[in-house]
């Protein structure tokens, strides 16, 4: 029987310094989320880890029946050192019974809420969220997720979610989903009492831990092992290196005796915290050849800054293609252009400042271990003037790129 990596659990425990204490908050304090919190729009909510988490919750909760009571809301010896177990071990026998009863009664609803046709909307927060409870009005405590029942919306702290082991994600999201399930007395908040549990929060933590433990017991996570190493679109930073084939089909550069094609490389960095991202790159391109016995060299260095919008064209549910995405954006750049023409009779060179502006689209194809293949195309216009040679160039280019990227 495969055990989940306990070292990983241990480091997570240290990280939070408090063991499993899923920091969640619900509607009444959700408005306390600071306005600086950037919440990505729905275009980014498609996430493989979230998809796996929801599938696990849905599968486990759907299959609960009276026969599950042997393990449900309990901790077996095998998982003794797991923090999720710790939550369950602390439950009184009355609480275990209540936990089982709730899960057997509401399991089907939970399964539907976690299922594919669920109305629940997920958003990511890219900065720490904190909430203020009524009691402590000054500084709030940091939270991993916020649920807004009216909007059926769950906002998740992106970086903390990514750092969690799979079973913790299941515990967290189960907790949040139960904020959306109406019990006899209506929706449950963290703060209110929920006997026999000490509070709503304690009850929901127990339910979350129970579903996560049940998933461990049934080895449900194993079904998704093949997705473990797939590169995740959610990584905020990306470095890339690409080869560029540049076509300048117009005749505008004729006086420079250039070929209609040149090539180069670009090294770039992308900051993509959500649907919108920034792109910085350094590009060196060049052409050398000869015409009419004259050797021609032109070299350009271009520093580009761009803004880009990211979207996911396919809903590759629970597959690698879930992470494939496309960016489109606008770039502006500046740089230098160097030109040299030499033959037995002439030897001329000149240097110019250049400006560029253009639009680009790029596909990011996920490999494994945060590596990506990129394929893209850019249309841009370069302007520069060789003053000594008195040649002014306005050149439209089509740039095709292929490269590799690393996310972190
Ligand atoms: Zn909660």
For 147-193, write each residue's pLDDT tens digit.
999 899 999 988 889 889 999 999 999 999 999 999 988 899 888 88
Q: What is the C-alpha separation between 408 and 235, in angstroms, rounded? A: 5
Structurally, the chain folds into a number of domains equal to 2
Span from the CA of 191 to the centroid of ligand 1 (angstroms) = 8
Instruction: Examine residue 351 and state whether it is found in any structural domain, yes or no.
Output: yes
317-359 residue pLDDT tens: 888 998 999 999 999 999 999 999 888 887 889 999 999 999 9
Residue 274: give the domain boundaries.
Answer: 237-407
Q: What is the C-alpha separation between 260 and 350, in angstroms, rounded? A: 20
Q: Please indicate, yes or no, whether residues 169 and 302 belong to a single structural domain of this protein.
A: no
Q: Please indicate, yes or no, whether residues 169 and 304 belong to a single structural domain of this protein.
A: no
Closest CA to 353 of 371, 366, 336: 336
Instruction: Examine residue 152 and state whether it is found in any structural domain, yes or no.
Output: yes
Element (H, E) at 345: none
Q: Of 227, 248, 273, which residue constitutes the final position of a domain? A: 227
Binning the chain into helix, strand and coil, the percentages to the nearest 5 are 30, 40, 30
Q: What is the C-alpha separation between 142 and 24, in angstroms, rounded? A: 9
Span from the CA of 234 to the centroid of ligand 1 (angstroms) = 24
Q: Please indicate, yes or no, whether residues 138 and 162 belong to a single structural domain of this protein.
A: yes
Q: Of 227, 253, 269, which residue constitutes the final position of a domain? A: 227
Span from the CA of 31 to the centroid of ligand 1 (angstroms) = 15
Span from the CA of 276 to the centroid of ligand 1 (angstroms) = 30
CATH number of the domain bearing residue 38: 3.40.390
Span from the CA of 87 to the centroid of ligand 1 (angstroms) = 15
Q: Please indicate, yes or no, whether residues 89 and 189 belong to a single structural domain of this protein.
A: yes
The average pLDDT across 242-269 equals 80
Residue 389 to residues 8, 340, 352, 385, 393, Cα–Cα distance (Å): 65, 10, 10, 9, 11
pTM beyond 0.75, yes or no: yes
Span from the CA of 24 to the centroid of ligand 1 (angstroms) = 4
Instruction: Examine residue 106 and state whether it is found in any structural domain, yes or no.
Output: yes
Span from the CA of 19 to the centroid of ligand 1 (angstroms) = 16
CATH number of the domain bearing residue 323: 2.40.160.20
Q: Please indicate, yes or no, whether residues 155 and 295 belong to a single structural domain of this protein.
A: no
């Amino acid at each position: 029987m495969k055990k989940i990596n306990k070292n990983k659990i241990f480091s997570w425990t240290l990280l939070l310094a408090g063991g499993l204490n899923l920091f969640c908050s619900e509607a009444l304090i959700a408005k306390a989320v600071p306005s600086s919190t950037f919440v990505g729009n729905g275009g980014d909510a498609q996430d493989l880890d979230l998809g796996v988490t929801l599938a696990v919750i849905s599968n486990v909760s759907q299959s609960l029946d009276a026969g599950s009571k042997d393990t449900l809301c309990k901790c077996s010896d095998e998982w003794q050192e797991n923090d999720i177990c710790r939550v369950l071990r602390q439950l009184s026998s009355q609480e275990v019974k209540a936990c089982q009863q709730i899960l057997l009664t509401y399991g089907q609803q939970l399964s539907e809420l976690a299922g594919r046709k669920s109305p629940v909307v997920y958003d990511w927060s890219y900065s720490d969220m904190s909430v203020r409870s009524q009691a402590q009005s000054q500084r709030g405590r940091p939270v991993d997720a916020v649920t807004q029942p009216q909007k059926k919306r769950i906002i998740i702290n992106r970086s903390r979610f990514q750092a969690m082991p799979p079973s913790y994600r299941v515990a967290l999201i189960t907790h949040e989903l139960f904020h959306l399930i109406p019990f006899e007395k209506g929706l449950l908040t963290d703060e209110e009492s929920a006997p026999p549990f000490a509070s709503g929060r304690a009850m929901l933590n127990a339910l979350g831990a129970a579903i996560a433990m049940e998933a461990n017991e049934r080895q449900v996570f194993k079904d998704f092992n093949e997705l473990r190493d797939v590169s995740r679109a959610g990584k905020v930073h990306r470095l890339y290196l690409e080869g560029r084939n540049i076509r300048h089909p117009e005749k505008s550069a004729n006086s420079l005796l250039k070929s209609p094609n040149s090539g180069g490389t670009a090294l770039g960095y992308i900051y993509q915290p959500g649907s919108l991202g920034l792109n910085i790159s350094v590009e060196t391109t060049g052409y050398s050849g000869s015409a009419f016995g004259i050797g021609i060299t032109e070299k350009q260095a271009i520093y580009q800054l761009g803004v880009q919008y990211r979207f996911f064209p396919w809903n590759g549910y629970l597959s690698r293609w879930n992470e494939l995405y496309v960016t489109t954006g606008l770039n502006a750049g500046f740089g230098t252009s160097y030109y040299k023409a030499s033959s037995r009779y002439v030897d001329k060179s000149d240097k110019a400042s250049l400006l560029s502006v253009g639009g680009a689209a790029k596909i990011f194809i996920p490999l494994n271990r945060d590596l990506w293949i990129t394929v893209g195309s850019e249309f841009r216009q370069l302007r520069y003037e060789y003053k000594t040679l008195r040649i002014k160039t306005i050149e439209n280019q089509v740039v095709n790129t292929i490269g590799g990227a690393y996310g972190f």
